[in-house]
Amino acid sequence: MESHPQQHAPRPGAPGDLPRLAVMISGGGRTLNNLQDRIEDGSLAARIDLVLANRPCSGEERARARGLSTMIIPRGVSAADLAQLWRARGIDLVVLAGYLALLPIPRQYRGRILNIHPALLPRHGGPGMYGRRVHEAVLASGDAQSGCTVHECDDEYDHGRTILQATCPVLAGDTPESLGERVFELECRTYPRAIAMVLDELAGRARQTPGDQRT
């Protein structure tokens, strides 16, 4: 993929044009499905324009079944190639949804890539901390509560500006599975809210700097 450097980040489109999301996945696609459900029920004013999986997975198959434009991109793809792809599709915001790799952050997309982590960062984050491992760590720590964190992505695992957190109790007798399901229920409510908040921020910036610069 040939790279064409750009000087400006993309901007939300003209009035009436729903913001465009690129969703990145590696596994079953539960978070992707939830976001598409929220779009279809009208509670998230956006559209998923592109799904990117870094390997063949059931989430990729489910995305195609829902009629979403879907691609497999190799792990290790360059920041320049990602920026070119996203700009060509007019992507306003990139959303990680169980994407299990450290993503290179194109300069033009800083502040426009979000992730959700199934714990209250900065606790229980970092390399290798995903899925069941996170909930095992929470239980082993004796924490009284857990939850989820939506944050901007930077060049470190589970790092960057916190957008939104939500909490739930850790109950006596919890297993990694029972805690994980409780946290996932929180994620299903919290991620769409955080995405809407960031899209509102981006729209506000675009109004201060008139003109659609996605092209």
Residue 30: which of 5, 84, 66, 54 has the closest Cα? 66
Asked if the structure places residue 4 within a domain, the reply is no
CB 31 within 8 A of CB 4: no
pLDDT of residue 210: 61
pLDDT of residue 141: 98
State yes or no: cis peptide before 56, omega within 30 of 0.
no
pLDDT of residue 16: 55
**Residue 82: domain span:** 20-208
Asked if the structure places residue 14 within a domain, the reply is no
pLDDT of residue 95: 98
Active site residue 117: yes
Asked if the structure places residue 12 within a domain, the reply is no
Asked if the structure places residue 3 within a domain, the reply is no
Asked if the structure places residue 9 within a domain, the reply is no
Sheet of 162-169: strands edge to edge? Answer: 70-72, 47-53, 20-25, 93-96, 113-117, 145-152, 162-169
pLDDT of residue 4: 31
Asked if the structure places residue 7 within a domain, the reply is no
DSSP state of 91: -
Asked if the structure places residue 15 within a domain, the reply is no
Helix (H) or strand (E) segment spanning residue 53: strand 47-53
Asked if the structure places residue 215 within a domain, the reply is no
Residue 125: which of 160, 93, 168 has the closest Cα? 160
Burial letters for 83-108: b for 16+ Cβ neighbours within 10 Å, e otherwise?
Answer: bbbbbeebbbbbbbbbbbeebbbbeb
pLDDT mean values, one per 10 residues, the chain (215 residues): 34 65 97 98 97 95 96 92 96 97 94 98 96 98 98 95 98 98 98 98 84 48
Catalytic residue among 4, 8, 117, 159: 117
Residue 29: which of 76, 98, 125, 89 has the closest Cα? 98
Q: Which CATH number belongs to the domain containing residue 121 in this structure?
A: 3.40.50.170
Total count of domains within the chain = 1
